[in-house]
Amino acid sequence: MNQDDLKALVGKKAVDWISDGMTIGLGTGSTVRYMVEALAEKIKKEHLTITGVVTSKETANLATSLGIPLKSVDEIDYIDLTIDGADEISSDFQGIKGGGAALLFEKIVAKNSKKNLWIVDQSKLTKDLGNFPLPVEVIPYGSEKIFERFEAQNFAPTFRTVEDGTKVKTDSENYIIDLHLKKIDDPFKLAKYLKQQIGVVEHGLFLDTVNTIIVGYPDGPKIFEAR
């Protein structure tokens, strides 16, 4: 089984958590894609009434193309369950997200959800966070100044760019600065520092957020309850 097979495995498994009448937060990324496709099939097969709340334009386009009814987070009281991917999950169930630049809407949706379920292949599990570059979403105005501040902190920042060197723009028209930290000793301290920087919109540390994790292994999916 390759990594993509493992993503498909957990994506399909995740829809077992969805039942009739639920409002579901739909995350972003290559693993979530499998879940959204499986959800569309389940809705048709079991004649379910489901409302989706998306976390990116990418997922909105996919869900719409598959006929899943959508509402904005502002139109609903709460989200029953959000299913999302992750870039890194530490042994104490903290996470890094935003590899697909969707961290801001993902965090808003996660914070308005009663329960958060993450679906990952086994490669995403790690002892400590930080090997995966930590994404920080910043407004374009003043972003060079924030970049310099991150350099001075030895955060090894890089602006995320596309192939031609243009800076990536998020769905909210912001930039992403990736911090190449290797190991984050105190994620809570770092999260606090980042939130205090003027011009930082959000960062990819998702702390004390996830409740349940489905991990794809070659011998099948395994479920971990975080809290």
Ligand X SMILES: O=C[C@H](O)[C@H](O)[C@H](O)COP(=O)(O)O
Question: Count of residues binding ligand X (CB under 6 A)?
Answer: 17
Answer yes or no whether residue 31 interacts with ligand X by CB under 6 A.
Answer: yes
Task: Determine if 113 is a binding residue for ligand X (CB under 6 A).
Answer: no
* Closest approach of ligand X to the CB of residue 191, in Å: 16
Q: Please report whether residue 50 would count as binding ligand X according to CB under 6 A.
A: no
Catalytic one of 41, 46, 106, 148: 106
Per-residue b or e along 35-68, where b marks 16 or more CB atoms closer than 10 Å to that residue's CB: bbbbbbebbeeeeeebbbbbbbebbbebbeeeeb
Decide: 10 and 128 in contact? Cβ < 8 Å: no
Establish if 187 lies at the interface with ligand X (CB under 6 A): no
In sequence order, the β-bridge partners of residue 167 are 161
User: Encoding tokens for residue 8?
Assistant: 């498909």
Does the annotation flag 12 for ligand binding? no
> Applying CB under 6 A, does 133 fall inside the site for ligand X?
no
Residue of the chain from 6, 14, 26, 28 that contacts ligand X (CB under 6 A): 28
Cα(71)–Cα(206) distance, rounded to whole angstroms? 23
Residue pointed to by tokens 């990594």: 3
Query: Which amino acid does the sequence have at 62?
Result: L
> Is 8 flagged in the annotation as binding?
no
CA 135 – CA 21 distance, rounded (Å): 34
Binding of ligand X by 59 (CB under 6 A): no
Determine if residue 59 is labeled as part of a ligand binding site.
Answer: no
51 annotated as ligand-binding? no
The two tokens of residue 170 are 């998020």
Cα–Cα distance, 76 to 51 (Å, whole number): 9
Per CB under 6 A, contacts with ligand X among 69-108 are 84-87, 97-103, 106
106 is catalytic: yes
98 annotated ligand-binding residue: yes
Query: Measured over all CA atoms, what is the biggest interatomic distance in the chain, rounded to whole angstroms?
Result: 56
- Residue 82 Cβ vs ligand X, minimum distance, rounded to whole Å: 11
Q: Distance (Å, rounded) from C-alpha 13 to C-alpha 1? A: 16
Kindly state the smallest distance separating residue 30's Cβ from ligand X, in Å: 3
Catalytic residues: 106
Residues that bind ligand X (CB under 6 A): 27-31, 84-87, 97-103, 106
Q: Binding site membership: which residues? A: 28-31, 84-87, 97-100, 124
The binding site for substrate comprises 28-31, 84-87, 97-100, 124
